[in-house]
Structure 1
Amino acid sequence: MLKNLEQLILSGNFKEAEALYHEMDFQQFDDEIIVSAYDNRNILYYTFLHYLLMKEESAKLHNLAFTLFVHALTPIEGAYHSALYHAQRAIELTNEQDVGDLENLLFIYGVPDQVVSDEIALETCHKILALEPSNEIAKSLLKKLLRRKK
């Protein structure tokens, strides 16, 4: 199925790729998009995700777009800024109640482009800890941020 989805996307045949997407388990789709994008480093994978998002916006699709930008498409100028947009939309769509979505924001806090401010990172740590008090990622970053403020 990987080659078929890959061929459909790379040929711009989004309607057929969409039909295949609806037949697949989302995790399988996610995995195939990421693997194919790593292999090809082609912006058409994002264009296809954008096509799907315009039809049916979901936190899952925004998270996949986020992953695409922070892993497979990082060489593209503005990739981290695009990832930030998708992280923020996923957070909005889940009403700031999904720890994984909030952690994505903390992940890109640490990238060289500094697309997330210290203030947003601090606020995000507090939101995560309110939902999951034992979250080690948020606790560790919170300590670093508080030391910086002193």
Structure 2
Amino acid sequence: MARDLLSGPGTMSASGDGRPARELTFTMPGGGTETLRFQPDTPEAATAAAARVAAFERRWNDLADTIRTTPRDRLAAPVADQQALAREGKRIELTECLEPGRVFWSAALDAEVAFVGSLIAGRRDSQSLAAEVSRNFENWKKVEVACR
């Protein structure tokens, strides 16, 4: 049974344009699967949210590039910046349709921070953390597509 995330009755969107809802099944952070039903956002809301998310992703990716190219003994400041940016990213304003995807967005940010920490510390869990980052970002991208 899908958890219904529709904003209006039937499959009508809040704008009344009749775009059909979409159902997607996800592997959830922590295990298990869940099927969610999404009603696409209005074009205006989707465009505004996409701009906020893209601006954040540019900052996140720029910082990731800095971390990759910084010598290990100088990573304290970039890693602290990454942790702060992850906290900021969890508070980003999302549309009603995107909001259920926040679980994937937040889990991906947390996993990437943990991945960097694992690499710095030389722990052996970095490969599983990298897979977690990838899975959660892939799920987030599915939510983005479903909400357009």
> TM-score, normalised on structure 2?
0.31
Q: Which has the higher contact order (CA 8 A, sep 6+)?
A: 2
Say which structure is richer in strand. Answer: 2
Say which structure is richer in helix. Answer: 1
> TM-score, normalised on structure 1?
0.31
